[in-house]
Amino acid sequence: MIRLFVAFCLLMAGPARAEEIVLGLSQDQVSITANFTGSDILIFGAIKRDAPEPTDQGALGVIITVSGPQVPLNVWRKDRRLGIWVNSEHIEVDAAPSYYAVASSAPLSDVLKDVEDLRYSVSIPRAIRAVGIGIAGGETFIEALVRIRKHEGLYLVLEGAVDLEEDTLFRTSISMPSKLVEGDYAARIFLTRNGLVIDQYDTIIPVYKVGLERWLYQLAHNKPFVYGLMSLLIAVASGWIASAAFASLRR
């Protein structure tokens, strides 16, 4: 009976994956303080194998993405009318990552097939869900959004930035700018062979204000009246102190 039970458990578990990801992070959270100027996250790991690496199944690739909280927004196009620039057409973006970085061990097109990109939403355009993207010229709105956020350092494409050593160890460093939206940042690591995803590892990197900044943020959002009253008292006290100091200097 015990042997039958063990055999049943092994059958339900299914065959072990030949190659899978073992991940590590240089820091498991990002703390935003008053002097926060950005942070670099070192993502590293190894490829665990139950058997020697196959030599006839194509090249191995590693892709790492870090995505900030999804936010809805409208992307407008400005046209010049009667000598002034005004908003004209727009599309609704149902969910766009506030921050997104994608790093790969080789050019993305070499390590990920388009059908897999569509399935897992790896590239930046695929990570953006937009309403009305099917309209004529809708792609230009998404291209403009990506271009603007790349210029702001919020969208990063780091092709070849993942160092893959002997198809076993990998690492990369991803920069996060100072103007980060608070929330849980999703990190995904994809292991590919011949452009097909053979394993995926997901983890979360919390990004939140800490210390006095966190207390003031929570006070402003949870108790706005108290926050406003405190701000007013601080302003009055600062004005009185400045006036007293100026008066003493004139004597």
Tell me the residue type at 188. R
- Shared domain for 195 and 233, answered yes or no, is no
Domain annotation covers residue 176: yes
Which residues does 230 contact at the CB level (< 8 Å), separation at least 6?
A: 219
Domain annotation covers residue 155: yes
Domain annotation covers residue 99: yes
Q: Which domain holds residue 219?
A: 210-251
- Shared domain for 231 and 160, answered yes or no, is no
Domain annotation covers residue 9: no
- Length of the chain as a residue count: 251
Domain annotation covers residue 2: no
- Shared domain for 203 and 216, answered yes or no, is no
- Shared domain for 87 and 202, answered yes or no, is yes
Domain annotation covers residue 93: yes
Answer for the pair 82, 63: CB distance below 8 angstroms, yes or no.
no
Q: How confident is the prediction along the chain (251 residues), in pLDDT tens digits per residue?
A: 443 333 334 334 444 457 888 877 776 677 766 666 778 889 999 998 876 666 667 789 999 999 999 888 877 766 666 667 665 666 777 888 999 999 999 999 999 999 999 999 999 988 887 655 555 556 777 888 889 899 999 999 999 999 999 888 999 999 988 888 888 999 999 999 999 999 999 999 888 776 555 555 555 666 676 667 667 777 777 777 777 777 676 66
How far is 116 from 119, CA to CA, in rounded Å?
5
Q: Radius of gyration over alpha carbons of the chain, in Å?
A: 25
